[in-house]
Every structure is written in structure tokens, then in C-alpha cells.
A and B are shown apart, each in its own frame.
Chain A
Amino acid sequence: MPELIFQIAIIVAKIVILTFMVVLPLVPVSVYFERRFSAVIQDRVGPNRVGIPLTLFGFKKDFHFFGLIQPIADGLKLFLKEDFTPAHVRKAFYWMAPALTVVPALITVCVVPFGSPISIFGHTEKLVIADLDIGPLFVFSVASLSVYGITLAGWSSNSKFPFIGGVRSTAQMISYEIALGLSIIPVIMYYGDLNLSTIVQQQADHGWLLLPLWGHDADHTFTSKLLFWFPAAIAFLIFTISIFAETNRMPFDLPECETELVGGYHTEYSSMKFAMFFMGEYAAMVIGSALIITLFLGGWSIGFGLDAMVANLHIGDFYFGGLIHLGCFMTKLIGFILFFILVRWTVPRFRYDQLMKLGWVVFFEAALINVFLAALIVAAPQLKGTIIGIGAVLLVIVTAAVIWVAKVSEETPKVLRA
């Protein structure tokens, strides 16, 4: 029994620390980054004034923390606003929708490996809440639940613009889920494992998927890794862009396109309920970046063959290499969030038919062909030369056929009727 209580205590501690002290604070931090970084891009200053108003007490200057406490002020504002429920909404669903967008995004945190195992007094603990053997699938399945929040928000608001926003987001998220799922099949085939911790460990030992420069041996030759770089790069492109669409970020934020839909699915929401949609979007962005980093960019790994050395660093019985890896993971994560923000403020919004075409005609086909290409490359060492040749010819024919079909379907005149 004490053993069980100890284990439960450790799980609760991991949930509290990793979800509420590592991932959740990233949401206000990324809002701050969004505001400051967009200001830099647009040659403004951005929010830099929030602080202690010392001038009120007769001092010469205010004390501001470079605007770093701006997110707290933003959050406080949203808390203190009037929580207004319009009379025409469907109450139960209207209240349920914001929670349904935040909760799935936070649940998916539990399979992300944040660092290598930490060891104290001979007790080793992995820096992941649930070390599931189906990591990426779990993330997709739980993240696919967040579409309910947006759909219900649009429908329960009982007014036309939110409804159109909700319908748009449902169609968009379901379409891009297919490209998202298909695009990582090459990665899973390459590692032969669905456990995210194992995938990151392999990348630490034998080179990141997109940077395979170290850890060569007989089973992981440099040429094989270099050959796999091409399908991996295609998968990375499709996956990253699909994550943008899946999290409703610019340039795919059609569900809340303010020039057409006022505010989209959250038009009728105010105060903390609106803030929860906001939080859900940013939490989904954080988790999406974490998944991209874990699958393609080495997760917590520092790289260049340094990881085994770092994992062995210790003071007495306390192996603290995992904390350094945690820091490395957070650095990559914040770097990727900055990339998300950079894209948002530089790329203009897509039109809705362009978005659907990109998802169904370009990404779906490209991901499918990429699966065949990756399968050929992974299986090549076990196959005879002639079979590889036949496979390559078949692949070229299929690719040409798909491109031809896409071209032909474009030429037929469209009927302008929905």
C-alpha cells in the first residue's frame, strides 16, 4: 500500500509540475511574446509600461519590468470583465463549449517527454506523465475532441456569424486531421515505435530526424539516414502546416476571420469564457510545437552526441541531466512558438476554398505518396536491386498520375452553387 501511495503522489506531482507549472504558464508568456514580437515586426514598441507606478509617489521614473507582467494585467482584465450571457443562446452548451476547448489541449500534455530520466537515491523517474506506447495517436485522438468545443460554441451562440465560424472550423479541423495523421506515418515506420520517449531516445543516440549528423553505426548508417531525410523533410513540412490549420492559427484562422465573421465562433462570448477559448488556442499551439519538436527535432535532446554525457552528470546520487534536457526542450519550444508568431504576422490569410484545396488536393496526396516513398527507403536494405527499381518506377507513375488527376480536376469549370 505505501508503494501505491508513493506512486500516486509522484504522478500527481508530475501532473502539477509539468502541466500547471511548465505548460500553462507558457500560455501567458506566448501572449506576451505575440504582442512584443508583432510590435517588433511592425516597427512599434509594444506593451512595455506595466509595472510599479513609482511616479505616483513622487519618484522620477516608473519601475517597469520591460512589460513582462503585461500578461498578468491582461488576465486580470479578462477576469474582472462583466461575464455577459446573451438571452438568445442555448445555455447549457454555451457554458460547456469553452471548457471543451481547453481541457483536451491540456490532457495531451501527459504523453510529451519533457526530458531524460532524473534519478535520486537510486530511484529513477521519467520526465513524462504517462509513458504510453501509443503517444502520437493519443495526442491526435484527444486533440480531435477539441473540435466539439468550437462547434458547440458556434451552434449554441444561436446567431449566424458564430455558426458559420463553427461550421468552418469543423470542416477545417476534420480535413487537416487526415493530412496530420498520414504525414507522421513515415516517422513511425522509421522508428518502428509509437512511444514518444523511445523516439526521442533514438534521436538522441543516432541523430535527430532532420539533422542526422552523429551516432552512426552498422544499423544506422549515414547513407540510410541521409536517404530518409527527404521523406522526413516532406513529412515535417506537411505536419507543421497542418498543425497551423489544426490550431486555427494564421494563415488558417478562417473560423475567426474578423473581416468576414465579426469574431467567428466566439463572437457572443465575453470575459473569462472568451479567455478560455484564447487559452485553448494557445495551449493547442504549445502542444503542437511540442509534438513537432519531439518527432522531428530531437525533443529534449541537445544533440551532437552530448546527450549520454549530460544524462550522466550527477552530484552524489542525484542525476540532474534530465533538468538540463528539460531546459533544452523549453528553449526549442519557445523558439518554435516564436516561429508560429512570426508566420502569423507575415503571411496573409487564405481564402476558404484555397484552404480546403490545400488540405485535400495537395497535402493528402503528398502525404500518401510520401508514405510509399518512405516505405521504399526503409525496406530497401532488405530488398533486391530489381525490386527496388520496380518500386521506384511504380512510385514515379503513381505520383505522375496523382498530379495529372489534380490538374484535370482543376480544368473543369466549377458550378457556382453550394
Chain B
Amino acid sequence: MPSYLFWLFSTVMLIGGVSVIAFRNPVSSALSVVTCFVGLAGLFIGLSAFFVGVIQILVYTGAVMVLFLFIIMLLDLKDEEKAAKPLLPIAAGIALVAAFTVQLIGILSRTPNVIAPNLDKETLAAAASGFPATSKIATTLTQGKLPDVHLIGHTLFTQYNLPLQILGVLLLVATIGVVILSKRQAD
């Protein structure tokens, strides 16, 4: 990705993130989160992870945040718009930020400082030898394109098959639980 695009999208993300806490109006804050997510999707796409970027928009921006906004609008929050600075939440927030910073430093210090290989035609063609010659992944790789959707599917269904199935069951349990809870409330 050209570096100026990286700077553009990270600036968008940072502005979105800061304005989430800077705005008093909850709806504005929710829209700032949306801006932040769009910037994040831009960063993913810049790293050739098209699928992850698009799913980021589809799931988080297009569905999850819409529901957030929906609830905020329905509740019609008024108290949050008043200027209030209680001490305890601020202290807790600073403690959280500090904890995450320590964690980030810990991870970054252990990450080896290697530059990822360029996704040019030679590297991709060399990677194709790891797959059956007639498969879709191998043919796309030899053409010099990154079949990111196929690769994600291949990895998920060959290396992480059991965790994937367990995740599916977990989500099903959550869905059924929500239905039962909402039905009980209606009764």
C-alpha cells in the first residue's frame, strides 16, 4: 500500500476514535465509531486483505453499529449531553488505557522486526507450489494475484475445522438464548 494512503486512513481512524469520547451527543459518538471502522477497513484493504476489510464494513459498520444507533435513538438519552466529569470513571479510564499500553508495548517488543515479503509475481508463484497444481488457489497465485478469500476458506476448513464448528454451535446457543429471553419478556 502506498504510504500516503496508510497515513490518510490512520488519520481518519484516529479522528474517529478521538471524537467518540470528545462528543457529548451519543449519536455523534456512534457515528464516530462508524468513521473509525471505515478507516480500519481501508487499512485492511491497503494490506491486500480485501475480504477482511469488506467483512469489517459489512458486519460491524453495516449491522452492529446500526443496531447501536437504533438503540441509542430509541432510548433518547438526554443525561449524557450534560457536562459532567465524575472522578471515578475518568480514573478507571486512565487505568484501562495504561493497562492496554503496557500490553501493546509487551507485544511489540516481542514481535521480530522483519519486513513482510512483497506480494509480487515471483513470491506468489513460489507460494503456489504448496497447493495442488489444478486448484483454484494455485492457478490464481501463478497469475500473480492473491486469492485471499480462497486462502481464508482453505485455512479455516483444513486447519481450524473443529474450532470453527464449536464456534458455530456457540453462536447457535446464543441465538436460541436471545429468542427464549425475548419470548419470556413478551409473556
Q: A-side interface residues toward B, CB under 8 Å?
A: 93, 132-134, 137-138, 140-142, 144-145, 147-148, 151-152, 155, 163, 166-167, 170-171, 174, 177, 192-194, 415, 417
Contact = CB atoms under 8 A, between A and B. Distances in A.
B178 to A, nearest CB: 13
Interface of B: 27, 31, 34, 50-51, 54-55, 57-58, 61-63, 66-67, 69-70, 73-74, 136, 145, 147-149, 186-187
B147 A415 contact: no
Contact of B149 (A93, A134, A141, A417): A134
B63 A177 contact: yes
Contact of B57 (A142, A177, A194): A142
Given A134-B51, A151-B73, A417-B186, A141 B67 contact: no
B54 A134 contact: yes
B116 to A, nearest CB: 20
A192 B139 CA distance: 13
Nearest to B187: A415
Contacts of A152: 27
A245 to B, nearest CB: 15
Contacts of B145: 133
Contacts of A171: 70
Given A134-B51, A177-B63, A192-B136, A144 B57 contact: yes
Nearest to B150: A192
Contacts of B31: 148
B55 A137 contact: yes
Q: Which of A142, A145, A192 has the most CB of B within 10 A?
A: A145
Contacts of A144: 57-58, 61-63, 66
A192 B147 CA distance: 11
A137 B66 contact: no
Nearest to A138: B54
B61 A145 contact: yes
Contacts of B54: 134, 137-138, 141
Contacts of A140: 58, 62
Contacts of B73: 151, 155, 163, 166-167
Contacts of A155: 27, 73
A151 B69 CA distance: 9
A335 to B, nearest CB: 30
26 contacts: A93-B27, A134-B50, A137-B54, A141-B61, A144-B57, A144-B61, A144-B66, A145-B62, A147-B62, A147-B66, A148-B31, A148-B34, A151-B69, A151-B70, A152-B27, A170-B69, A170-B70, A171-B70, A174-B63, A174-B66, A177-B62, A192-B136, A193-B136, A415-B186, A415-B187, A417-B186
Contacts of B149: 133-134, 194
Closest 6 CB pairs of A and B: A144-B62, A141-B58, A141-B57, A155-B73, A137-B54, A141-B54
